Structure 1
Amino acid sequence: MSAVRPTQTHECDALQLQELYRRGDLSPRDVVEDCISRIERINPEINSVLVVLVERARAAAAESERRWREGAPRPLEGVPIGVKDVADIAGVPTTGGSALYLDHIADRDAEVIRRTENAGGVVIAKDATTEFAIGGPHNPTFGAVRNPWDLTRWSGGSSTGAAASVAARMYPLAIGSDAAGSIRMPASWCGLTGLKTTTGAVPRTGVLPLSWTTETVGPIGRSATDVARFFAVLRGLDTADPRSVPTPADGLDTLASGHVPNDLEGVRIGIARDYFLEDCDSDVRQNFESAVNALRSAGALVSDVMLPLAPDAMQIGYLLLFTEAAAVHRVNADRLGRCDPVMVRRLSEGVLTSATDYIRALQYRFQLQQNFAEAFSKVDLIAVPTTPGTAPNLDDLTIQIDGVPKPMHDVQSRAGMVCNLAGVPAVAFPSGLDRAGCPTSIQLIAPPHKELDALTAVAVYQSGTEHHLRAPDIAA
């Protein structure tokens, strides 16, 4: 790797930055200043960053520089990282994208922030989100986040700012959350790699609650190796979070260090064709098949699998999500007139859910988990398109499926919510571009706590392809 000047650091992922730090060709302080400069230049175009933590980032970068000089770097040493504005950072507002919380100053760091900074990560910005991570794209307080690949489109999901910022090369990694695909949808539409973690694998202490059944916290990055390195830091038991569970010692650190296997020999990948490939844009489908062929060429054994309950997952999952969100936001019931109408409508649906329907939804969740368990008795991973089309238009919130506009909310979570309900991990990663030059994406779903298996398969795929290296013109 040749030396990279500070003005070119946006071209480096986290592992590449750290290699340059190690060699003394680059300093964390140079990188942080470059990130701040890029945010100042690009953010007015895409509106993805709410606040830049200039002094905090500069102080952390100086500390990282010292550690590199002393030869004692930590796993994320000197890597700039954005944070979705649902996670607490001490002394900084956690607005959740809402006018109701503009003065909500956190008194301590969320556990994921504590772990990130203890690992040497430089927290540099708070990223935009839809209101309380359940509102629509047009946030009434902060405005919509525009997709760096096409400014007329949305970047997607409630982790909308985190993905747009990483795609625009403002910084290489970000923390997001995912209750119905909100890490994977924006990763899909912004050409990134996003990990929806196993339920309970990453603690949510200090993160604004939304849904205790479907919501998880996880990383967004440009490559599987970067995401693996970040996940290795974030995961693990936190006794303050009642849903947190221990995670297995599974060799994730090897992949996180950039050591990628040569092939996928013997890895069984199932293709769930029914439902997931129906009503899917032909460019998305074509790039999906090309990606599957690449996985097959790497040695994977590919066969079809069935998830017969999947077609009901989106509707039932949203019932659970809206109901639990309504319970969380009872405290704001008398102030909802100041909120996003999309969020208010969704909370209203949740308020109207009967106890019987809620319990039936939980029973369905158990049956869906059995579906996955049966499928995973035959395969190691399941592949589906992440989203049925590329990024939606901001003006009418439609997704084009072979030229036919479909309401975004009717189709966006077809392959997302099924994983949130079942509690299984999934990695979204780029599979190419469509005819309009927007990213398409494929998703690999794994059994609970088998994030390593999915990330390894993605890393092997990315070692032989260049889709994840592509950047939008605005990042140049």
Structure 2
Amino acid sequence: MRGDAWLSGRVSASGPSRARAAETGEFGDVARDLRGTVSARDRVGEALDRLGRLHAELNCTIRVLRERALDMAAESDRREVPRLLEGVPFAVKDVIDVEGVPTTAASRTRADAPPATESATVVARLEAHGAIPISKDATTEFAVGGPHPPLTGACRNPWDRERWAGGSSTGTAAAVAAGVVPFGLGTDVGGSIRLPAAWCGLTGLKPTAGAIPRTGVVPLSWTTEAVGPLARDARTVALLFALLRGPDGRDLRVRESPFESGDATDLRGLRIALPGGYLTELCDAAVRAGVAHLADVLADAGAEIVPGEIPSAAQALPIGYQIVFTEAAALHRIDAARWCDYDPVTVKRISQGIATPASDYLRALQFRAELQAELDAVFARADLVVVPTTPATAPRLPDCTVTVDGEQYPLYAAQSRATMLGNLTGAPGLAVPTGLAPDGCPVSALLIAPPHGEATALRAAQLFQDRTDHHTRMPPIAV
């Protein structure tokens, strides 16, 4: 283990200890790069101005937090000793509370919601280190509706405005990819961080279930939902994960767990499985080439490619949706009188959940245990599983079809084939950009690690990004 790499050892659950660890070594370098040399007011003001211009093109924002952000920036500039992320602007998906700001979840039923009385734990933790939220970003309705939420309409992709940015952390991914902010916060129940990260050319982490508190987040599915960061590179994601993780005393699912650093220059001893079958059969050639490219780079750094298949992978997506929709129905049934104002896609999915017999829901939970056992068997001989994040480049608006080797497919037939594995089993997944397809849009690979194995995925991604430049590419709109 390199003494100056990553977090330099195990990170404590306490905020101050975590911050002190992050201020040293590469994390300290990442934070200093994020802070830059200009004043917080100039940095935040530039981000707000850029957001105003790009929102007109992308429809990525539900609410701009101009006055709040500029007040926080002025406070940052008055500090004699800067905090770790002093004055760094960031974006927040509008299912996550920011104190003093309404949370709409992109629903007409919450368009007049009162301001949140406190920030979600994840926002409060970043603010405590000096970071400044500047926006509440577009999302699908309640993070479960379709690409065209009635309150806001679709969020467009920075790489091609005729395409969708992905869901449900759609506006956050678009804002980060367009260069408005260096990072943002999203949520994920079936791929909602990793899919927009893939389609917008970002690095996005769905952490281990119970690693990051969900306190202050509009609930959707209590057994599959996670909160996590999106950024351009793995080092920034790793810094954010280090600051966001650990118990808050309120989300009872969250427990303390180790987060070990590691050498990101030598992967000797790392074993990587590349499952096929269902996970690659409906997959565009450019996406498959990106996965192979990543595997080749990791192997060149000393990693070993080992066998590993997930026999029940094809069942994960429909059974995962069954669990998500049933749990969403339990939450939204109390508002049935207002469903006439919901997105029709939201209503359809909730209705599927209501129609699910208890015996089917319980069988789905049993399948989850069986799928976990299959992954355990793979991880008995592999440290990482690498698969396509999503089978195609970004969907085309308005119907959101995707193209696989020249043929069009419905979005929901393809998008979450691999990502749902992590939501069902609790395993962390890291989406990593692996290049551009012939259509000019990003492709991505998904690194799946055993529970609490985020450091392994982040270390591999960091090495890949040190040896390639895919994560540095910006869409034309950002120039």
Does TM-score exceed 0.5, indicating one fold? yes
Paired residue for 2:68?
Answer: 56
Contact 1:148 1:155 in 2 (8 A): yes
Letter in 1 for 2:256: P
Displacement after TM superposition at 1:17 (Å): 7.1
Displacement after TM superposition at 1:15 (Å): 5.7
Of residues 338, 345, 352, the one that matches 1:342 is: 345
Of residues 98, 103, 107, the one that matches 2:107 is: 98
Paired residue for 1:318?
Answer: 321
Displacement after TM superposition at 1:77 (Å): 2.2
1:261-300 alignment to 2 at 5 Å?
261-300=264-303
CA distance in 2, matches of 1:152, 1:14: 39
Paired residue for 2:409?
Answer: 406
SS in 1 for 2:278: coil
- 1:274-312 residue CA offsets vs partner (Å, 9 max, x unmatched): 211111101111121111111111211112311111110
Paired residue for 1:222?
Answer: 232
Contact 1:268 1:300 in 2 (8 A): yes
Paired residue for 2:200?
Answer: 190
RMSD: 1.6
**Are 1:465 and 2:468 matched, yes or no?**
yes
Of residues 226, 233, 249, the one that matches 1:239 is: 249
Displacement after TM superposition at 1:263 (Å): 2.2
Distance 1:21 1:198, change over 3 A: closer
1:141-152 alignment to 2 at 5 Å?
141-152=151-162
Displacement after TM superposition at 1:31 (Å): 1.0
Distance 1:381 1:17, change over 3 A: closer
**Are 1:44 and 2:56 matched, yes or no?**
yes
Contact 1:180 1:214 in 2 (8 A): yes
- 1:407-431 residue CA offsets vs partner (Å, 9 max, x unmatched): 0011100011111001000100100
Letter in 1 for 2:74: A
CA distance in 2, matches of 1:111, 1:21: 22
Of residues 27, 49, 67, the one that matches 2:39 is: 27
Letter in 2 for 1:37: D
**Contiguous gaps of at least 5 residues in structure 1:** 1-12
Letter in 2 for 1:146: R
**Contiguous gaps of at least 5 residues in structure 2:** 1-26
Of residues 128, 140, 146, the one that matches 1:136 is: 146
Contact 1:188 1:439 in 2 (8 A): yes
**Are 1:116 and 2:130 matched, yes or no?**
no
SS in 1 for 2:385: strand
CA distance in 2, matches of 1:184, 1:329: 25
Contact 1:427 1:444 in 2 (8 A): yes
**Are 1:18 and 2:27 matched, yes or no?**
no
Paired residue for 2:4?
Answer: none
1:374-453 alignment to 2 at 5 Å?
374-453=377-456
Contact 1:75 1:229 in 2 (8 A): no
Letter in 2 for 1:100: T
Of residues 72, 78, 84, the one that matches 2:93 is: 84
CA distance in 2, matches of 1:66, 1:221: 28
TM-score using structure 1 length: 0.92
Displacement after TM superposition at 1:378 (Å): 0.3
TM-score using structure 2 length: 0.92
Of residues 452, 455, 459, the one that matches 1:456 is: 459
CA distance in 2, matches of 1:333, 1:15: 50
CA distance in 2, matches of 1:19, 1:190: 22
Contact 1:14 1:226 in 2 (8 A): no
Letter in 1 for 2:353: G
CA distance in 2, matches of 1:20, 1:112: 18
CA distance in 1, matches of 2:35, 2:435: 31
SS in 2 for 1:45: helix
Displacement after TM superposition at 1:249 (Å): 4.3
Displacement after TM superposition at 1:76 (Å): 2.2
CA distance in 2, matches of 1:133, 1:20: 29
CA distance in 2, matches of 1:161, 1:187: 11
SS in 1 for 2:281: coil
Contact 1:88 1:206 in 2 (8 A): yes
**Are 1:213 and 2:223 matched, yes or no?**
yes
